[in-house]
Amino acid sequence: MRYTDIAIIGGGLAGSTAAAMLGRADISTVLIDPHESYPADFRVEKLSGQEQLGRFSRTGIAESVLRRATFAGENWIARFGRLLDKAPSRQFNILYDSLVNAGRDEITASVERICAKAMNGMDADKIAAFYADPVKRDCDQWAAAKAFDFRSVSIATSPYWTAQRSARFMAWSSQGLLRRLGGAFHLEPNFLGHSSSSSSSSSSSRSSSSPSSSSLPSA
């Protein structure tokens, strides 16, 4: 019989990161996952913004992850077949399996790794309970509504969605034009439901560079 303080079931991004952090903290840990190395997965993850990159740095796996990532210093924003803006960004793109395996590379030898399944799967009652969960139902409803909005703003021909499409096109065009004119203004079209990593990082840099009341000379 094995004894451990913490057993992690599943070595995806969260499980592998937790195992790496617990191993460095010298906490008795077992990681259980069917695969010695995370298998190929047709997904690409985006790491951007000071907050997200800062979290990766605090986990201790950032250096391993960023070595495998591709840096993109500019986002091209296109809508309805037209290039509207080239926004500066600090963004790293990486395949999901490369991201997970980068985290696994940081797992210390003190963490025991068991290549096995922790269970054979869910029975009918557990599957029914999963789909009946109110949180999941709320998330599914929200996702369906967002998908309907994106589909409608792309192809719907009613006056409402035609106006929405025109408004979004004009907002992004204006933002790109103002950026090309020298960045004297910054239009943030929040009603579009989009956010730019560059805008969040630039706003944080502006706030950090502005003098605080404590730094002002006393009268």
| Token duo for residue 30 | 């077992």
**Predicted confidence band of residue 213 (pLDDT cuts 50, 70, 90):** very low
52 found inside a domain: yes
Reply yes or no on whether the pLDDT at 151 is more than 70.
Answer: yes
**Predicted confidence band of residue 78 (pLDDT cuts 50, 70, 90):** confident
149 found inside a domain: no
pLDDT in tens, 158-169: 999 999 888 888
Coil, helix or strand for 39?
coil
Number of domains in the chain: 1
30 found inside a domain: yes
Sign of the dihedral through C-alpha 69, 74, 75, 81: negative
Can you give the pLDDT at residue 118?
63
92 found inside a domain: yes
More reliable by pLDDT, 44 or 79: 44
Can you give the pLDDT at residue 84?
80
Give the helix, strand, coil percentages of the chain, each rounded to 5.
50, 20, 30
Say how far apart CA 22 and CA 32 lie, in whole Å. Answer: 14
φ, ψ of residue 83 in degrees (nearest 5): -80, 115
pLDDT in tens, 124-138: 888 888 889 999 999
Q: Percent of the chain scored above 90 by pLDDT?
A: 35
Half-sphere exposure of 150 (CA within 13 A, CB side): 9
Q: Could you tell me the CA-to-CA distances from 145 to 139, 140, 151, 214 in Å, in that order?
A: 10, 9, 10, 47
151 found inside a domain: no
Can you give the pLDDT at residue 1?
65
Say how far apart CA 140 and CA 6 lie, in whole Å. Answer: 32
Which of 33, 55, 186, 59 shows the shortest CA–CA distance to 111?
33
Beta-carbon contacts of 153 under 8 Å, excluding residues fewer than 6 positions away, are 161, 164, 165, 168
Q: Helices H, strands E: what count in the chain?
A: 8, 6
Mean pLDDT, rounded, for 76-92: 81
Please tell me the pTM assigned to this model: 0.58
pLDDT in tens, 9-22: 999 999 999 999 99
DSSP assignment string, 55-114: HHHHHT-HHHHHHHSEEEEEEEEEETTEEEEEEEEEEEEEEHHHHHHHHHHT--TTSEEE
Q: Quote the domain boundaries for residue 192.
A: 6-121+156-205
- For residue 10, count other CB atoms closer than 10 A to its CB: 15
Can you give the pLDDT at residue 182?
67
Reply yes or no on whether the pLDDT at 183 is more than 60.
Answer: no
| Token duo for residue 160 | 């409402």
| Token duo for residue 192 | 């579009």
186 found inside a domain: yes
pLDDT in tens, 170-182: 887 887 778 777 6
Can you give the pLDDT at residue 155?
87
Q: What is the CA radius of gyration of the chain?
A: 23
Q: Which of 24-28, 141-145, 170-174 has the lowest mean pLDDT?
A: 170-174
213 found inside a domain: no
Mean pLDDT, rounded, for 151-162: 89
Can you give the pLDDT at residue 130?
85
